[in-house]
Structure 1
Amino acid sequence: MHVTAQSTRSILTKRRLMATTLVFVVAATAWAEVKEPYGEDYPVVVVPGTSTPSPTPTPTPAPVTVPTAPAGRSLRLGVNVAGSVYYNTERVFANLAQIAGPWKDPSAGYAAMAASKLNAYGFPISAGVLALNVPQPAWAGKAVAVTCTWLGSGTVRIDGDARVVGANNRVSFTWPGRTGTNRPNILVNVSGANTAAPFRALDCREPGLVANGQFDQRFVDDMKPFGVLRFLDWSNTNGNPASVTWANRSTLDRAGTDGTALEHEIDLANAVGSDPWFTVPYNADENYIRNMGKLVHDRLAPGRRAYFELSNEVWNYSFPVASQALNEGIAEKLSTDKYSNGLMRYAEKSIWMHKFLTTAFADNPARLVRVVSAQNDNSFSARTIMAFRDTAKWVDALATAPYFGHSFYTGANTYVTDLSKLFVSLEAMRVSALAKARENKAIADKYGKRYVAYEAGQHIIAPAAKATLDAALQRSPLMYDIYKRYIADWKAQMGDTMTLYSATGTISQYGSWGMREYAGQPLAETPKRRAVLEAAR
């Protein structure tokens, strides 16, 4: 079967804020990760040599008889954990300066500071500006008392929505609550530091804050209902760095190419009591894979299982990894069908990776879950991947993302403003997405493998002109109802882990992926999260 541009059309409108640029700074015992936000409402990408696909309406599915999951299998809900960076609405770490973003250089138009201007601890040698992560109550409009401390020389001035100058390596201020839709913004402005007493160890938090290791205890508690934590947005997987080695990886005290330190991911899973799901950068070398396997094996709490997936959506040409895999597959002449080459190369490299991980967990294979992922709407991708050589021997689970609501405000819905009518359309899309999921489950069943969802939920991308309408739709009680049916039907028909995307995120023209809009949002205002938490009981 040939994968035409039409069959790949639906993979190309993607979620999330893509990590096209990553700048890291070391921050004492932690470092700061920045993901520059670029909207991912991508147009259709047509590969040379193919024709431009014509839009096709989503049909209203006819009633069907669906299979029931085998008795004794229980639903486990997972979640994709939102990343830590100053412009996100999740608060992960107790220290608001930890993994908040890059230091900015006032002398260079506030661009990310060059490494040559950072000291050995990853802080400015003389001057710099850092935007802090936002504490939860501020998002809810409440003022928050915060104290910053540091070591070494330099003057610290708090700028933004509060203005205070510190003294004696300490400054306290009140972070005002959000008004309207504006992000409450606090900047740490450092000046006059010197190399004799390097500025370092900046720590900003609320007095008396309850922490769990480096994490805010409230964040840990918010993750506890979920049996699986997928760390896509903590990794640099979507950025597809050209070189990922154990020597250049991120650690607790050094920035690297692979994203947030693996130790942080493992430690959060341990603190929550959940299974971690790692998305391994495609270009990670053998030494990285072997050492990653050993680190996870040794550091992860007994009784916890570790999921490993090579990259993320290698079939999706919105991401640079898809073209890399395609070109590699073509060079190897894996298939006479052009687009099968990318899928087969992904399978081939997944086998390569999973062999090393199998060795790392040889003493207790039950703790290892080896995943391959495919496109939910195109089961050809799953069939091709699973049928390639001995993929099935090295895989424990096939995963897809049964999103619903693609291209929602187009076609028949272009001029519809009645929420009840929009939800009728969305319900048809939900049913259709699960019908596609059943096709993929049948493939997993054929090989005796688990079938799980690596991401799931609504996939509505609203243009700016639909912002008010979409906000009402996302917050509607009808969204609670549709999520309840969605999860219940997944449990009845598939019966294994559904990992939702995402824990926390705003409603915007780039998607409304969060189950809640900000950390600490009242549950009554979060229909998606409320439905999920009820299902997780």
Structure 2
Amino acid sequence: MCIFKCTMRSFLFLVVLCCKLRISVSVTCPNDCHWNGKCDTNSGKCQCFEGFIGNDCAVDCGCKGHGTCKSDNTCLCQDGWKWYAAQHKCIWDCQCPNGIQCIGPGICGCSTNCHQGTCWNGQCECFEGYSGNDCSHYNPNIMANKDVSVGINVGGLSYYSSELKYVDIAKLSQSWITQRTSGPNANKWDTNEQNLVNWRNDGYPASLQDNMRLGKLMLRSTIGLYAPKGNYTLLYDGEGDISFRFAHEHIMFNGKGRMVININEGKNGIDLILSRTNPANPVRNVRFIMPGFEDRYEKFPFYPPFLETIKRYSQLRYMDFLHTNGHTIYIEYSNEVWNGIFRQTHYTQEQGTKLNLDPQSWKAGMKYYNKRSSEIMQIWKTVFGSQPDKIVTVWAWQTGNQDYTRQAIEDLGNRTRNFKAIAITGYFDCNNLAGKHAAEMLNMSNIQMETYCNNQMSQSESSFQYFMDLAKKHGLKLLMYEGGPSIMEGSAIAQGLSHDDVTNKAIAFNRDQHIKSVVDNLLEAWYKIVINDPQNSSPGGLFNYFSSTGTPSKYGSWGMLEYTGQDPGTVPKYVATQSFITRHYSHSPVDIPCSFLQQSTLGYGCFLQKRGALRWRCAVTDDDGTTWSYYPDVGNTGDTLVLDGFNPTTYTVYVRSVNKIGVNKYHSIDTRTTNTWKTYTSFDYYSSVASRKTQRRLPNGVYNYLDTQARCS
């Protein structure tokens, strides 16, 4: 109710309006709930976080976000935690042997240092190429990307990216936007008042104005349709009020610093709202963890299906990942500095003009690129002087204009000694099919489009040969920094025009089986002319596909995959690229040759049988590998089988079958029945294997004598 008397003529118009509209005033809660709960401003009552009680939430039961209050004001701790009366709080609960300490809730540390790996529940998990109990032995022969001259451009970090790289979704969230809860800007999505926020050095607000809140989006657009659904965990340091919008969410646990939210997100994504923060202890370090990964996210931050789809590439290019087109970043001195649509191009032209390198701005920019990139490469070479093979210094210019590139590299002169390689592009647009020939394309079948596109391969071969000769002339290697399909209405879009029917036709072809031969022929042309050239050995020959993952649109179908978690075996561009790798680099394994684990007196394993015809099997032994009881076949008999874990509480064995081009299928079997295998999506599989209750396989190359019946080399 309005607190003023309407008959007092001296009050301002705002007060009169208040009375006429009978505006309500928010009610405060006692002691502001001690920041241990949220205030219901209608009733003036505190809604305490789990683990706190009292009318002002002053009583701390010691749960620390991992339990609920008991009647004696102690905590009923969650699984993996136990009550420690001496400190009145829940602590990690571990049953570790030989004095080994906990490293997480119910998670034991290791008795040895994991040199090239990470400790998890008593044993090391080795990085690719390393093996042994302490992950100290390097063995490139077990790496799926051994000597492979194919790389990938990984996508950027954004709230709308369809590539999920981290299990902590907050790493892919939007920057904070400002909003108002009242006043004339109350309905604005973004009031653009970031300059009014008192920001900390870590990017979080030190305080907020009374009617201001901050928001940030996550899992927006396409990825919201395909991202995992289930119980996400919000973790944060400090004190404040956080809530969510847009997604269909249900709060399962609401603790201080930790919330568990069941989310069934959609294309609108998830909007995280920070409505209050305690100036004495501000909210910070916000993490939003995918279902199943709360225990592992710190030690294993990357999303397993993402790693799975990039493991066969020998190089990763971080142009989008590091927002190179928004900032001038090095060791390939930025990206496409000749391209006028990017800020770095204007920067180099400005700098070159200031230095009077040439009266023409475009040429001044080119000369500045040569000057500055040479200087930067010298710095890198100085730093890595004792390990010169650790870096590849790259020079890149405009592939589409061959003579322009010739002029640019001639201007470089003897500064070519600062570089090891020239990098070009290798796109195919099917002779500008979606541009100049759009009307014709609309009447084509996918078979006709395939033929049309393959007819461009002679042009690609000529381009590769020209630049191969140019590189050799100047004593350099030849690489490709970007390549792949580029079927889009480029000129129409540049003029603000595009046509949905053309876009849809181009997207459909990029998804169709008939694009496989075009991608394959492009890779084969590169292999024949560039990789096979005896003067272009390592670090030459690398083909960097653009890009790993992306949502198709009128601007192009650049992503090999459309979203993380898509079945790659159903994606023609992915299959074509992986088939090329398998065909030319068959010496590289698709995964480890043998995988074992020990659980009490039992051993589990997946391996090629030593005797008889080569056949992958998974089995259990109770006599240290002397005899095995085999489970039913899973996958094709030629697939590599990888044992990832065993959950003794559910008696479940988790196994991946990996085909010859590295595509995974996911399975489990209940060892009490051993009749049929259950299949999974990639997310459901990895979230199950991530459980701390699931025992992971032994480190790479560690067999504990279980390999007597197996071919492991």
* TM-score, normalised via structure 1 length: 0.68
1:223 aligns with 2:329: no
State the match for 2:288 in structure 1.
Answer: 204
SS at match of 1:494: helix
Q: Name which of 143, 147, 155 aligns with 1:82.
A: 155
Amino acid at match of 2:215: V
After TM superposition, where is structure 1 displaced by more than 6 Å over at least 4 residues in a row? 134-137
Residue-by-residue CA offset, 1:197-229 (whole Å, 9 max, x unaligned):
211121111343254543223322322111111
Matching residue within 86, 91, 103 for 2:176: 103
Q: 1:176 to 1:368 in 2, by over 3 A?
A: same
| Residue 415 of structure 1: how far off its partner (Å) | 3.7
| Corresponding residue for residue 436 of structure 2 | 411
Query: Post-superposition shift, 1:142?
Result: 5.9
Note if 1:357 corresponds to 2:380: yes
Q: 2:466 aligns with which of 439, 463, 473?
A: 439
The reply on whether 1:535 has 2:580 as its aligned counterpart is yes
Tell me the equivalent position of 1:392.
416
User: What's the secondary structure of 1:423's corresponding residue?
Assistant: helix
Higher CA-based Rg: 2
Pick closer, same or farther for the CA change 1:338–1:187 going to 2, 3 Å. Answer: closer
Distance 1:113 1:188 in 2: 18
Q: 1:90 deviation in Å?
A: 0.7
**Match for residue 504 of structure 2?**
468
Q: Match of 2:481, as an amino acid?
A: Y
Q: CA deviation at 1:434?
A: 3.4
Which residue identity is paired with 2:189?
Answer: Y
**Distance of aligned partners of 1:442 and 1:385 in 2 relative to their CA distance in 1, 3 Å threshold:** same
Aligned partner letter, 1:231:
Y
Are the equivalent residues in 2 in contact too, given 1:480–1:530 (CA < 8 A)? yes
Bigger relative contact order, structure 1 or 2 (CA pairs below 8 A, ≥6 apart): 1
- 1:122 aligned residue: 203
Q: How does 1:116-515 map to 2 (within 5 A)?
A: 116-124=197-205, 125-126=207-208, 127-133=213-219, 139-140=225-226, 143-164=229-250, 166-176=254-264, 178=266, 183=267, 185-209=269-293, 211=297, 213-240=300-327, 279-280=329-330, 308-334=331-357, 339-388=362-411, 389-405=413-429, 407-417=432-442, 418=444, 419-462=446-489, 463-465=498-500, 466-495=502-531, 496-515=541-560
Equivalents in 1 of 2:345, 2:224: separation in Å?
Answer: 40
Shift of 1:95: 1.0
Amino acid at match of 1:203: R
Q: Which amino acid aligns with 1:413?
A: A
Instruction: Tell me, yes or no, if the aligned pair for 1:137 and 1:143 is still in contact at 8 Å.
Output: no
Q: Which consecutive unaligned segments of at least 5 residues does structure 2 have?
A: 1-145, 490-497, 532-540, 583-713
Stretch deviating more after TM superposition (158-167 or 221-230): 158-167
Q: Describe the superposition over 1:141-190 as per-residue Cα deviations: whole angstroms up to 9, x where unpaired.
A: 76332121222222221211224464433322233265xxxx25111112
CA contact (8 A) 1:177 1:184 kept: yes
Which whole-Å CA distance do the structure 2 matches of 1:144 and 1:138 have between them?
13
- Post-superposition Cα deviations, 1:256-315, rounded to whole Å, max 9, x if no partner, equal xxxxxxxxxxxxxxxxxxxxxxx52xxxxxxxxxxxxxxxxxxxxxxxxxxx21111111
* Partner SS, residue 469 of structure 1: helix
- Determine whether 1:521 maps to 2:566: yes
Q: Go from structure 1 to structure 2 and tell me whether the alpha carbon gap of 1:430 and 1:467 turns closer, same or farther (over 3 Å shift).
A: same
1:135 CA displacement:
12
**Comparing both structures, which one devotes a greater share of its residues to strand?**
2
Question: Contact 1:484–1:532 (CA<8 Å) still a contact in 2?
Answer: yes
Give the alignment's Cα RMSD to 1 decimal: 2.7
1:141/1:334 CA distance change after superposition, 3 Å: closer
Q: CA deviation at 1:398?
A: 0.2
Determine the C-alpha separation between the residues in 2 that align with 1:445 and 1:100. Answer: 45
Distance 1:191 1:528 in 2: 45
Q: Which amino acid aligns with 2:162?
A: T
The one-letter amino acid paired with 1:470 is A
Cα 1:533/1:334, change in 2 over 3 Å = same
Higher mean displacement: 406-415 or 313-322: 406-415
Judged with a 3 Å threshold, the aligned counterparts in structure 2 of structure 1 residues 342 and 121 are, in CA distance, closer, same or farther, namely: closer
Within 1, Cα distance between the matches of 2:434 and 2:173? 34
Amino acid at match of 1:97: A
DSSP 3-state at the match of 1:226 = coil
Output one character per residue of 1:380-427: Cα deviation in whole Å (capped at 9) or x when no partner: 233223222322111100001121117431223334322222223322
Report the TM-score when normalising by structure 2: 0.52
Deviation string, structure 1 residues 336-362 (Cα, Å, up to 9, x no partner): 776443322211211111111110111
Question: In 2 relative to 1, CA 391–434 (structure 1 residues): closer, same or farther, beyond 3 Å?
Answer: farther
1:515 Cα deviation (Å)?
Answer: 0.3
Residues 333 and 199 (structure 1), Cα distance of their counterparts in 2 relative to 1, 3 Å cut: closer
What is the identity, as a one-letter code, of the residue corresponding to 2:436?
G
